[in-house]
A and B are shown apart, each in its own frame.
Chain A
Amino acid sequence: MNVSLETLVQLCILLPIFSTIGIVALRGNQNSREAVSVFASLVVFYSVVSIYLGVQSGETIAVHWLQILPGLSLSFSVEPLGMIFALVASFLWLVTIIYAIGYMRGHNEDNQTRFFCCFSIAIGSVMGVAFADNLLTLFIFYEVLTLSTYPLVTHSGTEAAKKAGRVYLGILLSTSIAFFLFAILGTWVIAGTLDFTQGGVFPADANTTLLGVILVLFIFGIGKAAIMPFHRWLPAAMVAPTPVSALLHAVAVVKAGVFTIMKVCTLIFGIDLLAILPTTQGLVYVAGATVLLASFIAMRQDNLKARLAYSTIGQLAYITIGALLASSLGVVGGSMHIAMHAFGKITLFFCAGAILVAAHKSKVSELDGLGKQMPITMVAFFIASLSIIGIPPAGGSWSKWYLLVGSIDTGQWTILVILLLSSLLNIAYLLPIPIRAFIFKESTTNGAVGIKEAPLPCLIAIGITTLGCIALFIYPDPLYDLASSILQTSSVAYGQ
C-alpha cells in the first residue's frame, strides 16, 4: 500500500464531503446517485481499517492544515479513542447507507438528494471529530455536524418537524456556543494550548475551583452527550426519517458528544486532575440521575422511537459516568460502551424503521403478535436489547462490566447501585417489546393481515449489526486493546 496514512485520514474527512458534488450531479438517476454514497462509504471504511492496521504496526500520523488562529491550527492525528469512534462510525455508515436506500425508497421520501448530501457531510464531520488533534478542530467539526444534521431532522418539512428542528438546533447550538466554546476559550487562556495531550494540558498550579467550573461548562456544553437538563433535543430529533435516527442519533451525533466528553476528561484534564476537581463528584451524580430519569421516562413512552431515544439518553450518561469516574477502568468501560451501544442501538432503530416500513406501526402497544410476521426483525430486536441491557451473549455486557468494576474500584457505591438498578429498568422497557411480539396474541383490532418482513436491504443491514452485537461479545479483544491503550501511551504512537 503506497498511499500514506496521512492521505487516508484526510480522505476520510474530505471524501464524504466532496461526494456531495457527485450526489448532486447525479440527482437525476437514483441508482447512480446512491452508488456514489455506497462507494464513498466503502472507501472511507477501507481507509479507516487501513489506518487502524497501519497504526497497529507502529506508524504515527500527524496532519496539519492551515493555522486558523495564532497557535491554533486545523490538525489531525490518530489515537485509540478516536480510532474506536472512527471504526464504529465508518462501519455503521456503510451499513446505514444500505439500509437507507431500502428505507427511503420503500417510504417514498421527498428530497432524497438533500438527504444523502447532508448525510455525507455529517459523516465527514464525524471523521473530523474522531481524528481531531486539538479542541478547536474538534469544535469546528462538532458545529458542522450540528448544522449538517439540521436539514435531516427537519426532513419532512412539516410543522412538527420544524418545531423539532428548532429544539434540536436551539439546544445544540446554544449549549455549544454558550458553554462549550466558553470552556474551550477558558482552557486556551489558562493552559495556552488546546492540543490533546496525555495527562492533560493544565499547569499544576492552576486554580482548581476555576477548572472545576470549566469542567461543568464542558460537560453541559457538549450538548450532544444529552446530559439532563440539555437532553430535550434527542427525543425531538426523532421526527427524522429512521435511518437518520439510527445512524445520527444512535451513533454519529450522540457518540460525537460522549466521545468529546471522554476526550476532554482524559486528554485535556487528565484523570489525575479530574479526580481532585471539586465539581467532578457532583457531575457524576448528575449523570447518574440522567441514567435513572431517562430510564423511567423511557418506560412510559408508547412511541417506539421515543422509547429508544430516552434509552439512548440513559446509555450516553453511562459513558459520561465512565469518563468522570477518573479511573482507567471507567475510561475503558466508557470507551467500549461507545462501540457496544452503537451496535445495539442502531439495530434497535433499524428494527423500529423496518416495523414502520413493513407494518406501518410506530407504537409499542401495537406490536402484539408481530413476531410471527416479522420474525427476523423481532429476533434482532431481542438480541440488540440484550446488548443494551448488558446480558450475554451480547457485547454490551463487557462495557457494563468494566463500568461496574470501575465504580467499585473508585468507591462510588451510589453509582454502582444506580448502574445495577438501571440495568433492571432497561429490561423493563426493552424486553416487553419482543415479549409482546412473540408471546402475546394479535389483537383483533390489529388488522395485521399480509404484513411481511421489511425490504431486503433493510434486513441485510439489521442482520449485519445484530451479528456485530454478538461478535463483540465473543471477540472483544481488539476493542479492549484500543480502549485500554487510551491512557497508556502518547497520542501519536500507541502502536508500539
Chain B
Amino acid sequence: MLAHLPILQVIVPLMAAPACLLLRRPKLVWLFTLLASALAFIISILLLQQVMIAGTISYELGGWSPPWGIEYRVDKLNAFIAIIISGLSTLVLLASRTSIEKEISADKHTLFYILYLLSLTGMLGIVTTGDAFNVFVFLEISSLSAYSLIALGKDRRAIWSSFQYLIMGTIGATFILIAIGLMYQMTGTLNMADLATRLPEVAETRTVITAYAFFIVGVCLKLALFPLHLWLPNAYVYAPSIVTAFFAATSTKVAAYLLIRFTFSIFGLSFSFTTLPMGTLFLTLGLLGIFVASTVAIYQDNIKHVFAYSSVAQTGYMIVGFSMATTAGLSAMLLHMFNHALMAGALFLALAAVTYRVGATKISDFQGLGRQMPFTMAAIVIGGLSVIGVPLTAGFVSKWHLVVAAIGKDWWVVAGLLLLGSLLAVIYVWRIVETAYFNAPMTGKDSVEEAPMAFLFPIWILASANVYFGIDTRLSVETATAAAKGLFGVAP
C-alpha cells in the first residue's frame, strides 16, 4: 500500500469525482469530498515523511519502467507542495457546504464538488508526475475545472471573468505544450529526469531556447506574474467565495512549482541563469509586481480585489526569491509559498464568511464588523499582519529569510525594496481595520451576526497556523530548506 502512495495521491480525488454523481444527496457528497481531500492530505504527509527519510521516490506507472513508461517522481519539493495543496483544500472544504448554500443554486452543488475534486486532482497530478506531457494533461484537467468553478459565481460578471481566464489560461497551456513539444523534438523523451540528462547536449540550440521561452511565458500566465496577471483579480472576485479561497491558496503555488521544477531540474541552473538572463528578468518583474500590484491594491473598493492584487504582489516576492538562484533564495521562495497559502487561505475564507453574512465585500460593507463579527475580523487582522510581515506571524519569517538571502547576495538595494514593499501592505490592510473597528454599521446592516462555526473553525485553524508558523518555524523552514537543497543537488 505504502509503495503506491504516489499514484494514490492522484487517483483518490480522481476516482472520487465521478463517484459523487452516484451519491447525489448534497450533504453526502460534501462529506465524501471532504473525506477524499482529507485522504489526499494524509497521503501527502506520509509521502513527505517517506521522502525525508528515504529520499526521492520513483513510481513506475503500470510497471513500465522510465523513460518509456510514465514515472511519478516524488522528492522533497513536490511532497512539500502537495501538502500545501491538499491541506488547504481540506480546510477550505470544511466551510464549503455553508458557503455555497448562499452562492450556488442547490441543483449545482454536486457539480461543484465534482469540479472541485477534478481541480484538486489536476493540481496534485502536476505536482507528483515526473513526466512532462503528463504535466500538460493535468494542467488542462485543473484549468478546465477551474474555469467552470469560476463561472458558477452568482454575479453575472463571473462568466465574463471565467471567459477571460479561459482565454489567458488556454494561451498559457498551449505555450507550455509547445515548449514540451519542442523539447521532445530535440531529445526524444518526455520523462523529466531523462530530459534533464539529455537537454544539456543541445542546450545551445535555438530550439531549446525557444522552448524555454514558450514555457516561461506559459507558466507565468498561470502564475499570474506581473504583467501577465490581468485575468486573476476578476476571476478571484466574481468566483464563488469558496473557490477563491481554494485557488488563492493553491493554484499559483502549482504554477510556481512548475517554474521551479522546469528551471532547476530540467533546463538546469546554468542554462537559465547563465546562458539566459533569467535572473535579471525575474528580479525586475518580481519587484515591479510587488510595487505595482500593492499600489493598485490600495485603491480597490472591493476587499476581494484588494487581496487578489495582494496575492499578485506576494507572487512577486516569491519570484524575487527565485531570481536569486541560490539555495537561500529558493528556500525563502518555498517558505513564502507555504506561508502565503496560510495567509491567503485565512483571508479569503474570512472574506467568504463576510460574504455569507453581509452579502458583499466592499469596503463600506466592513463598517462596524469589528463588533458584529469579532472572530472573523480578528482573523482578517491576523492574516493582514501576516501579509505585512509583522513579527510573530508567518509572513515575517518568510520575509526575513528572503531579505537575508538578498543581503547574502549583496543585493542591498533589493533587500531595502522588499521591505519597502511591505509598507504598501500596511496601507491596504489598515484601511480595512479602521473601517471595521472604528465605524458604526451602516443603517440596515445592524443585525449582522458572527459567522457560523463551519466558517470559524477552518478560519481559525489557518489564522492560528499563521501565528504558529511565525513562532515555531522548524517544520516549515526545514522542509523548505531541504527541498531547496535537494534541487541544487540534482541541478547540473
Can you name the residue of chain A whose Cβ is closest to the Cβ of B416? A182
CA distance A122 to B397 in the complex (A): 23
Q: How far is the CA of A433 from the CA of B426 in the complex (A)?
A: 40
> A209 CB to closest chain B CB, in angstroms?
12
| B407–chain A nearest beta-carbon distance, Å | 4
Interface contact A182-B473, CB-CB below 8 Å: no
What is the size category of the interface that chain B forms with chain A? 20 to 34
Asked if residues B391 and A140 are in contact (CB atoms below 8 Å), the reply is yes
B403: contacting residue among A140, A151, A182, CB under 8 A = A182
B419 interfacial by beta-carbon distance below 8 Å: yes
Decide if A178 touches B416 in the complex (CB within 8 Å): yes
Q: How far is the CB of A88 from chain B (nearest CB, A)?
A: 25
Interface contact A189-B407, CB-CB below 8 Å: yes
- Asked if B404 contacts A174 (CB within 8 A), the reply is no
Please name the residue on chain A nearest to B481 by beta carbon. Answer: A70
- Residues in B neighbouring A178, C-beta threshold 8 A: 416, 419-420, 422-423
B12 at the interface (CB under 8 A from A): no
Q: Is B423 in contact with A177, judged by CB distance below 8 angstroms?
A: yes
With beta carbons under 8 angstroms apart, the residue of B390, B412, B415, B477 that contacts A70 is B477
Since A165-B434, A174-B426, A189-B404 are in contact, a sample of 14 more A-B pairs with Cβ atoms closer than 8 Å, ordered by chain A residue number, is A68-B397, A69-B401, A136-B391, A140-B391, A144-B391, A154-B438, A170-B426, A170-B427, A174-B423, A177-B389, A178-B420, A178-B422, A182-B403, A186-B412
In the complex, how many angstroms separate the beta carbon of B385 from the nearest chain A beta carbon?
A: 8
Chain B CB within 8 A of A166 CB: yes
Closest partner residue, chain B, to A182 (CB atom): B419
- Residue pair B473, A69 in contact (C-beta under 8 Å): yes
Q: Are the CB atoms of B392 and A173 closer together than 8 Å? A: no
* Bitwise interface map of B from 438 to 479 toward A, beta carbon under 8 Å scored 1, else 0: 100000000000000000000000000000001111100100
**Sampled A-B contacts (16; CB under 8 Å):** A66-B471, A70-B477, A143-B391, A144-B391, A144-B392, A147-B385, A151-B437, A157-B438, A161-B438, A177-B423, A177-B426, A178-B416, A181-B403, A182-B403, A185-B415, A186-B407
Q: Chain A residues with Cβ under 8 A from B473's Cβ? A: 68-69
The answer, yes or no, to whether A428 is at the interface (CB within 8 Å) is: no
Interchain nearest-CB distance for A160 vs B (Å): 11
A162 touches B438 (CB 8 A): yes
B36 smallest CB distance to A (angstroms)? 36
Q: Does B430 contact A (CB under 8 A)?
A: yes
Chain B at the A interface: mostly helix, strand, loop or mixed?
A: helix
Distance between A354 CB and nearest chain B CB, rounded to angstroms? 28
Contacts of B437 in A (CB 8 A): 151
| Shortest beta-carbon distance from A362 to chain B in Å | 23
Which residues of B sit under 8 angstroms from A70, Cβ to Cβ? 477
User: Taking the complex as formed, is A18 at the interface, i.e. its CB lies under 8 A from any CB of chain B?
Assistant: no
Closest to A179 in B: B419
Q: Please measure, in the bound complex, the distance between the C-alpha atom of A182 and the C-alpha atom of B427, giving whole angstroms.
A: 19
Top 6 A-B pairs, shortest CB-CB distance: A140-B391, A189-B407, A174-B423, A157-B438, A185-B403, A143-B391
Using a CB-CB cutoff of 8 Å, which residues 138-164 of chain A contact chain B? 139-140, 143-144, 147, 151, 154, 157, 161-162
Would you give the shortest CB distance from B413 to chain A, in whole angstroms? 11
Cα of A147 to Cα of B420 in the assembled complex, Å? 19
Query: What residues of B have a CB within 8 angstroms of the CB of A177 in the complex?
Result: 388-389, 419, 422-423, 426
Among A136, A154, A189, max chain B CB count under 10 A is at A189
Shortest Cβ gap from B379 to chain A (Å)? 16
> Could you say which residues of chain B place their CB within 8 Å of the CB of A364?
none
Interface residues of chain B, those whose CB is within 8 Å of chain A, are 385, 388-392, 397, 400-401, 403-404, 407-408, 412, 415-416, 419-420, 422-423, 426-427, 430, 434, 437-438, 470-474, 477
> Is A188's beta carbon under 8 Å from chain B?
yes
- B408 contacts across to A, CB distance below 8 A: 189
Q: Chain B nearest CB: distance from A141 CB in Å? A: 9
CB neighbours of B474 from chain A (8 A):
67
CB distance from A63 to the nearest CB of B (A): 16
Evaluate contact between A188 and B397: CB separation under 8 angstroms.
Answer: no
Closest to A143 in B: B391
Q: Please state if A185 and B404 are interface contacts (CB–CB under 8 Å).
A: yes
**For the side of the interface on A, what is the size category?**
20 to 34
- A173→B388 CA distance, assembly (Å): 10
CA distance A189 to B472 in the complex (A): 21
When distances are taken between beta carbons in the complex, the residues of chain B under 8 Å from A67 are 474
Quick one: closest A residue to B405, CB to CB? Answer: A189
> How many A-B residue pairs lie within 8 Å, measured between CB atoms?
74
A185 touching B471, Cβ below 8 Å: no
B390-A147 in contact (CB<8A):
yes
Please state if A69 and B397 are interface contacts (CB–CB under 8 Å). yes
The CA-CA distance from A70 to B474 in the complex, in Å, is 8
B426 CB contact (under 8 Å) in A68, A139, A173: A173
B430 and A166 within 8 A (CB):
yes
Residues of A within 8 A of B401 (CB): 69
User: How does the 8 Å CB contact mask read for A180-210 relative to B, with 1 for contact and 0 for none?
Assistant: 0110011011000000000000000000000
Is A69 a contact partner of B423 (Cβ separation < 8 A)?
no
- Measured CB to CB, the nearest residue on chain A to B397 is A69
| Whole-angstrom CA separation of A356 from B331 in the bound complex | 56
Contacts of B415 in A (CB 8 A): 182, 185-186
- B385 CB contacts on chain A under 8 angstroms: 147
A36 within 8 A of B: no
Residues of B within 8 A of A139 (CB): 391
- Would B472 and A66 count as touching, CB distance under 8 A? yes
Is the CB of A169 closer than 8 A to any CB of chain B? yes
Whether B419 contacts A181 by the Cβ 8 Å rule is yes
Please state if B434 and A166 are interface contacts (CB–CB under 8 Å): yes
Chain B neighbourhood of A144, CB < 8 A: 391-392
> Smallest distance from the beta carbon of A55 to chain B beta carbons, Å?
27
Min C-beta distance of A432 to chain B, whole Å: 37
- B169 CB, min distance to chain A CBs, angstroms: 35
Q: Which of chain B's residues has its CB closest to A157's CB?
A: B438
A218 CB to closest chain B CB (Å) equals 14
Are A143's CB and B390's CB within 8 A? yes
Contact across chains for B416 and A169 when beta carbons are under 8 A apart:
no
**A175, chain B: closest CB distance, angstroms:** 10
User: Inside 8 A of B390's CB, which chain A residues have their CB?
Assistant: 143, 147, 173
- On whether A169 and B472 interact (CB within 8 A), knowing A181-B419, A182-B415, A189-B407, the answer reads no
B423–A162 CB distance below 8 A: no
CA distance A174 to B427 in the complex (A): 10
Give Cα distance in the complex from A143 to B427, angstroms.
16
State in angstroms the CA–CA spacing of A174 and B477 once bound together. Answer: 26
Chain A positions within 8 Å of B392 at CB level? 140, 143-144
Residue contact B430 to A69, C-beta cutoff 8 Å: no
Q: How far is the CB of A56 from chain B (nearest CB, A)?
A: 32
Q: Which residues of A contact B477 (CB under 8 A)?
A: 69-70
Of all chain A residues, the one with the shortest Cβ separation from B401 is A69
B402 to chain A, nearest CB (A): 10
Q: Verify A162–B434 contact, CB threshold 8 A.
A: yes
Q: Which residues of B contact A161 (CB under 8 A)?
A: 438
The interface bits of chain A over 107-133 (1 if a CB of B lies within 8 angstroms of the residue's CB, else 0) are 000000000000000000000000000
Inter-chain contact B434/A68, CB cutoff 8 Å: no
B430 closest partner in A (C-beta): A169
Which of A143, A154, A177, A182 neighbours the largest number of chain B CB atoms within 10 Å of its CB? Answer: A177
Give CA–CA (A166, B415) in the complex, Å.
26
Cα–Cα distance between A311 and B404 once the two chains are bound (Å): 39
Q: How far is the CA of A68 from the CA of B420 in the complex (A)?
A: 23
**Please, which residues of chain A bring their CB within 8 A of the CB of B403?**
181-182, 185
Contact with B along A42-77 (1 / 0, CB 8 A): 000000000000000000000000111110000000
Min distance, Cβ B62 to any Cβ of chain A, angstroms: 43
For A173, what are the chain B residues with a Cβ–Cβ distance below 8 Å? 388, 390, 423, 426
Cα–Cα distance between A182 and B426 once the two chains are bound (Å)? 17
Could you tell me if B404 and A188 are in contact, using CB atoms closer than 8 angstroms?
yes
Q: How far is the CB of A84 from chain B (nearest CB, A)?
A: 25
Which residues of B have CB within 8 Å of A169? 426, 430
In whole angstroms, what is the CA distance A186 to B400 when docked?
11
Minimum CB–CB distance from A71 to chain B (whole Å) comes to: 11
Distance in angstroms between the alpha carbons of A174 and B421 in the assembled complex:
10
Q: How far is the CB of A180 from chain B (nearest CB, A)?
A: 10
Contact B400 A69 (CB under 8 A): yes
